[in-house]
C-alpha cells in the first residue's frame, strides 16, 4: 500500500507531466517512461501492447498514439531528433493497464488515469445534460412567445395553439403526430413530448418556432389557417436541414425525462456548493453545544 506522502508526490509528478496541445491534454511517452520506471526500449514494448488493446476496443491508434519528433542535445550544442509519442489520456490508461503492476508507479498510474478518464466522461455527460435542460427552457420560452403572437393575430381559441403546434410536429416528425410520437416514446399522457426529446430535436422545434414567429409578424399573418400553414412550412424546412445531415427526428431514441435530469443537476450543484463538513469541523461544532 502506497503511503499518502508517496501518493501525493506521484500525483504532483503526473500532473506536472501534462502537456496541452490545441486545448487537448497529452503526455510525452519519453517522459512517461521515466515516471513509470521503464527504460525506453522496454517501454516501447508496453506501448505496442497498449496500441493493440486500443485497436481491439475499436479505437483509432493514430488518434491516441500519434508519433512526434523530439529534439535532444547530444553535446557541443548539437541536437538530433528522436521518436516520441503524444499520448492521450486513454493511451496512458491503456499503457498503465499493460505495464508491470509490481511497479508502484504502474499501480498508481492505473488508478490515476482510470479516475481521470472517468472524470472526463462525467464532465462531458454533465455538460450534455446541462445543454439539454437549457434547450428545453429555451423551447418553453419560444412556445410561450409564439402562443402570445398567435393570440394577437386572431387565434383566440384556447386550443388553437395546440392544434397549430401538433400540425408542425407532424411535419417535423415525417408524418408522425404528437400523440403518435408520445406513444412511440412511452411518454405519459399528461407530460409534454418535448420533455423526452433529445437535444437536437428540442433545438429543432425551438428554431421552427422562431421562424414561425418571425414570419407571422413580418407578413402580418392572421387566423389559424394561415398561421398553421406557416408553421408547417417552418417545420418542413427544419426537417429538410436535419435530413440533409442524416438526422430523422422520428428515428432518434428518446432521452431521459428532462425534469429528472434537471433535478439531478440541481442536487449535484447543491452538493458542490455545500460540501459536507469534515470530522474536525463536526467535532468543533459538537464541542460548542
DSSP per-residue string spanning 155-174: --STTHHHHHHHHHHHHHTT
In terms of phi and psi (left: phi > 0; alpha: psi -120 to 50; beta: otherwise), the region of 241 is alpha
Question: How many beta carbons lie within 10 A of that of residue 167, not counting itself?
Answer: 19
Residues 93 and 128 in one domain: no
Any idea how long the chain is? Answer: 289
159 and 68 assigned to the same domain: no
Pick the last residue of a domain from 41, 65, 99.
99
Among candidate residues 158, 133, 167, 144, the one with its CA nearest the CA of residue 213: 144
pLDDT of 280 reads: 45
- 263 vs 287, higher pLDDT: 263
Q: Residue 55 contacts by C-beta under 8 Å, 6 or more apart in sequence?
A: 61
Domain check: are 81 and 162 in the same one? no
| Domain extent at residue 263 | 124-273
Same domain, 142 and 234: yes
138 and 231 inside one domain = yes
Domain presence at residue 188: yes
Distance separating alpha carbons of residues 35 and 113, to the nearest angstrom:
13
Torsion sign across C-alpha atoms 93, 97, 98, 103:
positive
- The verdict on 30 and 166 lying in the same domain is no
Task: Give 89 or 231, the one with higher predicted confidence.
Answer: 231
pLDDT surpasses 70 at 101: yes
Q: 150 and 57 in one domain?
A: no
Say whether both 224 and 94 belong to one domain: no
The answer on 130 and 95 residing in a single domain is: no
In a domain, 115, yes or no: no
Give the Cα separation of 166 and 224 in Å (integer): 13
Do the domain assignments include residue 116?
A: no
Residue 114 lies in a domain: no
Residue 205 has pLDDT above 90, yes or no: yes
C-alpha span between 83 and 51 (Å, rounded): 16
Q: 40 in a domain, yes or no?
A: yes
What residues form DSSP beta bridges with 28?
A: 86
> Is 207 or 21 the better-scoring residue by pLDDT?
207
Q: Distance of CA 104 to CAs 71, 88, 100, 232, Å?
A: 30, 21, 9, 64
* Cα–Cα distance, 57 to 48 (Å, whole number): 14
Task: Grade residue 153 by pLDDT with cuts at 50, 70 and 90.
Answer: very high
Residues 221-256: tens digit of each pLDDT: 999 999 999 999 999 999 999 999 999 999 999 999
Q: What is the pTM of this model?
A: 0.63
Together in a domain, 156 and 236: yes
The number of distinct structural domains making up the chain is 2
Any domain includes 262: yes
Domain boundary among 31, 64, 99: 99
* Torsion angles phi and psi, residue 273, rounded to 5: -80, -25
- Assess whether 14 and 86 both reside in one domain: yes
Same domain, yes or no: 72 and 146: no
- Only one residue has cell 425525462, namely 257
109 lies in a domain? Answer: no
Select from 57, 83, 99 the last residue of a domain: 99
Residue 111 lies in a domain: no
DSSP helix/strand/coil, 245: coil
Q: Average pLDDT of 157-185? A: 95
pLDDT digits (tens, 9 = 90+) for 175-185: 999 999 999 99
**Taking 70 as the threshold, does the pLDDT of residue 220 lie above it?**
yes
Amino acid at each position: 500500500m502506497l503511503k499518502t506522502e508517496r501518493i501525493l508526490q506521484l500525483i504532483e509528478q503526473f500532473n506536472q507531466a501534462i502537456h496541452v496541445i490545441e486545448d487537448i491534454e497529452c503526455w510525452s511517452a519519453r517522459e512517461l517512461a521515466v515516471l513509470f520506471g521503464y527504460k525506453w526500449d522496454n517501454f516501447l514494448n508496453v506501448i505496442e501492447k497498449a496500441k493493440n488493446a486500443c485497436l481491439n476496443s475499436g479505437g483509432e491508434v493514430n488518434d491516441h498514439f500519434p508519433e512526434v519528433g523530439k529534439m535532444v542535445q547530444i553535446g557541443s550544442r548539437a541536437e538530433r531528433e528522436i521518436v516520441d509519442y503524444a499520448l492521450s489520456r486513454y493511451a496512458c490508461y491503456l499503457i498503465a493497464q499493460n505495464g508491470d503492476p509490481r511497479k508502484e508507479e504502474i499501480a498508481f498510474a492505473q488508478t490515476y488515469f482510470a479516475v481521470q478518464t472517468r472524470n472526463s466522461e462525467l464532465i462531458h455527460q454533465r455538460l450534455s445534460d446541462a445543454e439539454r435542460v437549457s434547450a428545453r427552457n429555451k423551447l418553453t420560452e419560444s412556445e410561450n412567445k409564439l402562443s402570445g403572437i398567435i393570440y394577437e393575430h386572431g387565434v383566440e381559441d384556447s386550443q388553437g395553439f395546440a392544434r397549430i403546434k401538433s400540425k408542425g410536429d407532424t411535419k417535423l416528425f415525417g408524418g408522425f403526430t404528437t400523440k403518435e410520437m408520445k406513444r412511440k416514446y412511452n411518454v405519459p399522457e399528461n407530460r409534454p413530448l418535448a420533455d423526452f426529446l433529445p437535444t437536437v430535436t428540442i433545438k429543432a422545434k425551438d428554431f421552427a418556432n422562431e421562424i414561425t414567429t418571425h414570419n407571422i409578424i413580418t407578413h402580418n399573418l392572421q387566423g389559424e389557417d394561415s398561421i398553421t400553414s406557416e408553421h408547417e412550412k417552418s417545420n418542413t424546412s427544419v426537417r429538410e436541414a436535419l435530413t440533409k445531415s442524416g438526422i430523422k427526428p422520428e428515428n432518434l431514441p428518446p432521452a431521459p425525462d428532462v425534469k429528472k435530469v434537471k433535478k439531478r443537476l440541481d442536487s449535484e450543484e447543491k452538493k458542490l456548493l455545500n460540501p459536507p463538513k469534515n470530522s474536525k469541523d463536526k467535532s468543533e461544532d459538537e464541542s460548542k453545544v
